[in-house]
Structure 1
Amino acid sequence: MINFNYETDFILENETDYKDWITLSIHSEKKKLGELTYVFCDDEYLHKINVEYLNHDTLTDIISFDYTEGDVISGDIFISVERVKDNASDYNTSFNEELKRVIIHGVMHYCGYKDKSKNDELVMRKKENEKIAMFHVKH
C-alpha cells in the first residue's frame, strides 16, 4: 500500500500513476511492496524532523525512515517540495523530473542501494534514471 500525505499546499497530480510506477519499480528489483507513506512538506517541516530525529541542522530534500523487512519494502518518506523546486532549478531540470527522482530515490535506498561513495552514487543515479524511464510503462 502506498499513501500520500500533504503538509503543504502541494498536491501530487495523478496519484494512481505514481502508485503504479512505484509498485512497478519495486517489482523490477524483485522486491514486494509493503507499506510506503510519502509526506510532502515544506523546508521548515522537514528541517524539524532532520534536527529532532537525525541531529542534522541542515535543509534537505528527502528524509526516509526504512521499515523494510527482507524483500518487503516499507517506510516513511518525507519530501520537501521547496527543496525539490530549488534543486530542479540548480540541476537545470523540470520540477516533475526532479520530484520523480526524489520519490524513487528513497525506494532505491530501501532496495539496498547506497549513495555515500562516488561509485555507489553512480549506481544510484543509474537506478533512478532506469526507474524514471519506466514512469508511463503499463504492466
Structure 2
Amino acid sequence: MFNRQRQFSVKRTNLLDFARQLSARLGIRSGFTVVLMGDKAMRRYNRQFAGYDEATDVLSFPAREEQSDRAPDGEDYLGDILISVETADRQRRAGLDEELRVLVLHGVLHLLGHDHTADNGEMEKLEKQLKGEFSLS
C-alpha cells in the first residue's frame, strides 16, 4: 500500500488489515497494490485510462491473466487499485476510513473480473453482501 497524498491522515494499518480480511473471505491468494492519491493525480489516470477528464473515487487495473504476470517477489499478482482520498472524503457517508474500505472492496471486485456496468447487478449484489459482512455502510 502506498500513500501518495498528504492532505488527509489515513490509518494504513486499518486498511491493510481490512484488505487481508477481505482477501481471506474471498479466497484471494494473489497480491494486489492499493495506491492512495489526491484528485489531481487521479484525474490524470482517469483521463489517460478511462477517457474522463475528471477525478473519480477508484480505478482498478487487473493484471493480465497470463501466468507470467507475477509480483516482484514471485507470487501471483492480481492488479492495482488507485483511490482518490479527496474524492472519498467528499462522498463519504460515514468516516473516511470506512469509505476507503468500501473503495478497496469495490476495487478488489473489479480486479476479480466483476463489472457492474455489464453484469445485471451481480457485482452490486455481492458488494452489498460483503458490506454487510464487514459492517460497512
TM-score by length of 1: 0.73
Q: 1:40 to 1:114 in 2, by over 3 A?
A: same
1:56 Cα shift? 1.8
In structure 2, how many angstroms separate the alpha carbons of the residues matched to 1:101 and 1:43?
18
Looking at secondary structure, tell me which structure has more strand per residue. Answer: 1
1:116 Cα shift? 0.9
1:99 maps to which residue?
A: 100
1:85 maps to which residue?
A: 89
Q: 1:15 to 1:104 in 2, by over 3 A?
A: closer
1:97 Cα shift? 2.9
Percent identity, please: 26
In structure 1, how many angstroms separate the alpha carbons of the residues matched to 2:125 and 2:95?
18
The one-letter code of the counterpart of 2:95 is: S
Compute the RMSD of aligned alpha carbons: 2.5
Q: How many residues align?
A: 123
Aligned match for 2:41, one of 38, 45, 49:
45
The one-letter code of the counterpart of 1:87 is: Q
Q: Is the 8 A contact 2:15 2:101 kept in 1?
A: no
Q: Is the 8 A contact 2:19 2:104 kept in 1?
A: no
In structure 2, how many angstroms separate the alpha carbons of the residues matched to 1:135 and 1:58?
30
- Structure 1 unaligned blocks of 5 or more: none
In structure 1, how many angstroms separate the alpha carbons of the residues matched to 2:88 and 2:123?
18
1:15 Cα shift? 4.5
Q: 1:46 to 1:104 in 2, by over 3 A?
A: same
Q: 1:77 to 1:16 in 2, by over 3 A?
A: closer
Q: 1:133 to 1:119 in 2, by over 3 A?
A: same
2:51 maps to which residue?
A: 55
TM-score by length of 2: 0.74
Q: 1:66 to 1:86 in 2, by over 3 A?
A: same
